[in-house]
Amino acid sequence: MYKVFVNDKPLFLTNKISKETDFQLFLLESIDIEQLIVKIFQNKIQKAYLYHPDEKEIMKTLKAKIPVCKAGGGFVYNKKGEILFIFRNGKWDLPKGGIEKGEGIEDTAMREVEEETGVNQLRITKKLQKTYHVFKRNGKYKLKITHWFEMQSDFDGVPQGQLEEGIEKVAWLKPEEIPMALKNSYENIKLLFEEEALVK
């Protein structure tokens, strides 16, 4: 199953139909995906399942209908086991950004962490899951697929937020501070923390 967040609301691409649910269910062959996304954006639908026997087929259709932009991001630990967060648009987030022409996705993730936070001396320790979300820019919908990497950094300077990206602050958060920050974060960021088992 894929979880795609549309305006921070879940759209599950699934090959299973569950009977008991408060989600609305749509069949891939009988729904206009773009119309469905518009309705979620307009708050007419809060959460939905999009069904097809082959989940990959749903993702393929979604990618065919909505332009895709690839991004790379970092789930960065320092030597004390704290995690690097950025604060932007009134929410806590993790550093990430779009891929540049000819760049490998791992290089994108490390470059974006460094640009957005000033934190360097990064090394990737493992690949995490991808997250999917649909956003609207200049009146057009786009599907952002972010490849996340767990990283370690020996950086011991003061992180600096990239002002032109609207980053108001950068902070190393201790494990006990993270649940509070996640209350004011995005659903796809919470997913990463569930995967890392840092949020019960």
Residue 200 lies in a domain: no
Q: What is the pTM (predicted TM-score) of this model?
A: 0.92
Confidence of residue 199 (pLDDT cuts 50, 70, 90): very low
* 73 and 86 share one domain: yes
Does residue 62 register a pLDDT over 90? yes
* 78 and 6 share one domain: no
SS3 content of the chain, % helix, strand, coil (to 5): 30, 40, 35
First-to-last C-alpha distance (Å) of the chain? 21
**Domain harbouring 108, CATH code:** 3.90.79.10
Residue that the structure tokens 């062959």 belong to: 29
User: How confident is the model over 120-162, as pLDDT tens digits?
Assistant: 999 999 999 999 999 998 999 999 999 999 999 999 999 999 9
* 113 and 14 share one domain: no
Q: Region 43-51: what's the mean pLDDT?
A: 94
Does residue 19 register a pLDDT over 80? no
Closest by CA position to 33, among listed 9, 60, 65: 65
* 26 and 40 share one domain: yes
Percent of the chain with pLDDT over 70: 98
* 156 and 83 share one domain: yes
Residue 158 φ/ψ, nearest 5 degrees = -100, 120
Domain total of the chain:
2
**Range of the structural domain that residue 56 is part of:** 2-65
* 89 and 137 share one domain: yes
Distance (Å, whole) CA 73 – CA 145: 10
Confidence of residue 22 (pLDDT cuts 50, 70, 90): confident
Residue 7 CB coordination number (10 Å):
14
Tell me the pLDDT of the chain averaged across its residues: 94
pLDDT at 125: 97
Q: Measured on CA atoms in the order 185, 171, 105, 166, is the torsion positive or negative?
A: positive
* 138 and 158 share one domain: yes
